[in-house]
Structure 1
Amino acid sequence: MNVYTYLNRHKTLLLAGSCCCFLVLFRFVISLEYYYFFLIWNLFLAGIPFLLSEFISKTENFMATGILGMLWLLFLPNSFYVVTNLIHLQNSNRPYFDVFIIGSFAVLCCWLGFKSIQHMEQKFEILIPKTISWLIKIGVLFLCSFGIYLGRFLRYNSWNLLSDPYNLLEDCFSFLRFPVRHLEVWLFTLIFGLMLTGLYYIYLHLNPKNASE
């Protein structure tokens, strides 16, 4: 598949992304504030697991599937992290417009994340029993929720697993060793994980497996 064919295949997705970016640029024009440009970066990060899952779904190389699968899981929380950007509304001087901007990015990024999970499920559905597949999906969504907590409140990102693994793993082990002391971590993971699970099954209802891209 050449680049033109690929872009044409995802023209609706590209149009949605362009509209989201236009909203940020329009806000800059009317306010001269660069603040919400970070949403464009968030959208780029959300696109990484989507692209990885598309490649994984088409490759038959076992090693490539394993390596890319780990990268996919590492970057997947970025797809849902955008939802937490609603916290920035507390400092907004244009709350109604800003909730529309953040909401637009959040919907698109969540769609990319859910679609990438669907790609991965389709890749392995022949090898994995349906019950096990369901448990893996739920586990992945709750792992994403935990990763979002690390990103939003501890300011870790996907790259820190390579650039600062010691502090990242030390914090994670601390949460496991002293769960009561870090109750807010597990409450956030539970609540956000349940929300993602509910949204994912709404997504599946609207986008069945046999639906066209």
Structure 2
Amino acid sequence: MKEHLFELIATVMQVLQRNVGWMTWNLFLAFIPLALSVWLFRTRRGRSWVWWFGFLVFFAFLPNAPYLLTDVIHLIHDIRSVPSVWMITLVIIPVYLLVISAGFGAYVISLINWGYYLHRIGKSQWILGVELITHAFNAVGIYWGRFLRFNSWDFITQPDAIITKGIEEILGKQPLVIITITFVILTALHWLMKKVILSFLRQPHNGVDIKSRSSNPNTHNAG
């Protein structure tokens, strides 16, 4: 019994060690646009050429965040390689859920930051349209990354391949179906996670709702 348990634990550890490399790298790529979104949209800076360059880098790297949703294909392989239902349920699946949720959460928060910026400059009516257009572009980016193996930096290293092979590939019937399904999934999951994140951020702190306190006409400054 103990030998079987040790063998099972060893198998699980091998699976986790095999995945830690690509999981760490994919999460790193996913958090690049999140960090850029804070710098671009949460700080009060003018839209200089540096800002626009940062925005282009942000948009190029943004598909890396929702891309982690496609890593579920690795989960299927790992489930087949681990013989214990309990180990799969208590270890393998939670690890994947954590990594995928973190990546997609970075995507959602990046768009929340972008929406905050649009609201601040008086373009709140653009938020929904920007979100939908971004989902569409990211659906294409995910397809390029998963099926054509393009990376964000290929816009600089091999732009000719992006323009020729990338554009040509997405015009086929099957790619369009995959991209459309991806767009629907991104839109639905973004809507759901955005509501969850915003509801969490709006929770009262220290027993007092910040929003209510700031809008209370009876609240006066001390002094």
TM-score range (shorter-chain normalised) is 0.7 to 0.9
Other-structure match for 1:194: 184
TM-score, length-scaled by structure 2: 0.74
Letter in 2 for 1:82: L
| Number of the residue aligned with 2:59 | 73
- Paired with 1:194 and 1:32, the residues of 2 have a C-alpha distance of 31
The 1:32–1:175 alpha-carbon spacing in structure 2 relative to 1, beyond 3 Å, is closer
Gaps of 5+ in 2: 1-8, 83-87, 203-223
2:146 is equivalent to residue 156 of structure 1: no
**Cα RMSD (Å):** 2.5
| Residue 48 of structure 2 is aligned to residue 48 of structure 1 | no
Letter in 2 for 1:56: L
C-alpha distance after superposition, 1:30-86 (max 9, x if no partner): 327642021011111111001000011204121232111111110010001111111
- The worse-fitting range, judged by mean Cα deviation, of 61-70 and 48-57 is 61-70
Match of 2:74 among 88, 100, 109: 88
* Counterpart secondary structure, 2:152: coil
CA 1:32/1:62 → structure 2, altered by over 3 Å: closer, same or farther?
A: closer
Secondary structure at the aligned position of 2:151 is classed as coil
Residue of 171, 174, 181 corresponding to 1:184:
174
Distance 1:141 1:27 in 2: 40
Of 152-161 and 91-100, the range deviating more from structure 2 = 91-100
Structure 1 counterpart SS, 2:201? coil
Q: What fraction of aligned residue pairs are identical, expressed as a percent?
A: 20
> CA separation of 1:210/1:35 partners in 2, compared to 1, >3 Å: closer, same or farther?
closer
| Matched residue, 2:97 | 103
TM-score by length of 1: 0.77
Report the alpha carbon displacement of residue 174 of structure 1 after superposing the two structures with TM: 1.4
The amino acid that maps onto 2:140 is F
Structure 1 pair 60–183 and aligned structure 2 pair: CA distance change class (3 A) = same
Q: What does residue 46 of structure 2 align with?
A: 61
> 1:55 is aligned with what amino acid?
W
- Look up the match of 1:7: none
CA change 1:27–1:156 in 2 (3 A) is: farther
Say whether residues 1:36 and 2:16 are aligned partners: no
Q: What's the offset of the Cα at 1:211?
A: 2.5
- Structure 2 Cα separation of the partners of residues 88 and 125 of structure 1: 39
- Provide the secondary structure at the position in 2 that maps to 1:207: helix
Q: How many residues align?
A: 184
- Aligned residue for 1:62, secondary structure, equals coil
Distance change (3 Å), C-alpha of 1:133 and 1:197: same
| Cα distance in structure 2, aligned partners of 1:203 and 1:30 | 31
Partner of residue 109, structure 2: 115
The answer to whether the Cα contact below 8 Å between 1:86 and 1:99 also exists between their aligned partners in 2 is no
Measure the CA separation in 1 of the matches of 2:146 and 2:29.
15
- Give the SS at the match of 1:61: coil
